[in-house]
Amino acid sequence: MIAVIIPTRNAAATLPATLAALETGRNLIGEIIISDAGSTDGTPSLAPGRLITGPASRGGQIRAGIAASGAATLLILHADCQLPKNWPGLIRPALADPNLACYFRLRFDSDAKAARILERITALRCAVLKLPYGDQALLVSRSLLDSVGGYPDLPLMEDVALARKLRSRLRPLPGYILTSAEKYRRHGWLRRPLKNLCLLTLYFAGVSPKKLKNFYG
């Protein structure tokens, strides 16, 4: 049985679809933990299982959710992402090897040509740099996570920091996770990726995630 950990902050518009997509794997799920950071839009009332609350910090929220669970295997999922219907079959082979961490391939919920381009760039980034982001979900055993120091308690770049630690253990799953493109539609299909790239470059250059968070938005 696995625990699904979902960090939230004002995610009432997207969380229901994220939870609905989990239903095909209910027999694999031991618990769903919503780790909320002070939502004011009713998000906590949507929690189907355990709800924990704390300060806004996605890495810290995920870490707190993991600490609240006793499961040996964790599925870390963003609140604006939907797993494919056949996700239980896709992850079963991965469950047999606790020394691997697995992520899904990315699809945006948009028909824009720019979405397809970004999907290909994401695939290339994962293949070459071994750097999946949090919106691709992460299936990882507690033992493997503990061996690299646990989930990073960072307000930003927590997924990047963990991916760098898990680099040789990361494997893609054959299915595609559907991720919201709202930030790209709102901020621009070119502007948002360039901003993300700038933040990533600054992080690799040593700028602290706390400082970067102020620019992320």
Q: Is residue 109 part of a domain?
A: yes
Domain that holds residue 11: 2-187
* Residues 58/156, Cβ–Cβ less than 8 Å: yes
* Rounded (10°) CA dihedral 204, 207, 209, 210: 180
Q: Is residue 212 part of a domain?
A: no
Q: Is residue 145 part of a domain?
A: yes
DSSP string over 95-144: HT-TT-EEEEEEEES---HHHHHHHHHHHHHHHHH----GGG-EEEEHHH
pLDDT tens over the chain, length 217 residues? 999 999 999 999 999 999 999 999 999 999 999 999 999 999 999 999 899 999 989 999 999 999 999 999 999 999 999 999 999 999 999 999 999 999 999 999 999 999 999 999 999 999 999 999 999 999 999 999 999 999 999 999 999 999 999 999 999 999 999 999 999 999 999 999 999 999 999 999 999 988 888 776 5
Q: Is residue 15 part of a domain?
A: yes
**pLDDT score, position 49:** 85
**pLDDT score, position 213:** 83
**pLDDT score, position 92:** 93
**pLDDT score, position 118:** 96
* Residues 138/76, Cβ–Cβ less than 8 Å: yes
Q: Is residue 58 part of a domain?
A: yes
**pLDDT score, position 216:** 66
CATH number for the domain spanning 8: value is 3.90.550.10
Domain count along the chain: 1
Q: Is residue 195 part of a domain?
A: no
